[in-house]
Amino acid sequence: MSKKMHTRIINLSYFDEDLPKFASNVEQDEWHRALGRMVAYGLYGDWAEDTVQYVNLVLQRSDEIMGVYARPLPTLRKDEGDGQTWYWNSAQELVDCFIKDLYEKSQAQGQSFVMGAVKHDGKYGFHS
């Protein structure tokens, strides 16, 4: 049984003035947990094949996060006979081409910021 690959495209939209202001680290942590829950909602589906899914998150006012979760689309795969599998004529191919173009244009403006989260001794630490 091969692993199934799922791609989730998250569009997060907001106006500067709608970002919340925090009175404490506790409030900020609570907001981060809520945003993380919205991002991760529905990841554990029982999909029969590889999928691509669009999620639209909108920060509204300083106290609301709205999420719209489109149904995952199956991605079509073509086995070239050499063990390589390619996505062809599919939503995944369109997404990959768009993201590649967006990334290349962004890289032309300067290096990306990279951050990682690693769990150690039961807590996540962040590094860049």
| Contact between residue 48 and residue 72 where contact means Cβ atoms under 8 Å apart | no
Average pLDDT of every residue of the chain? 88
pLDDT for 80 equals: 66
* Dihedral, CA of residue 76, residue 80, residue 81 and residue 84, to nearest 10: -80
Domain ranges for the chain, please list them: 6-111
pLDDT for 1 equals: 47
Task: Give me the residue label for tokens 């890289």.
Answer: 107
Instruction: Report CA Rg, the chain.
Output: 18
| Contact between residue 91 and residue 52 where contact means Cβ atoms under 8 Å apart | yes
pLDDT in tens, 68-78: 999 998 876 66
| Contact between residue 115 and residue 126 where contact means Cβ atoms under 8 Å apart | yes
pLDDT in tens, 28-50: 999 999 999 999 999 998 888 88
Q: Beta-carbon neighbour count of residue 32 at 10 Å?
A: 11
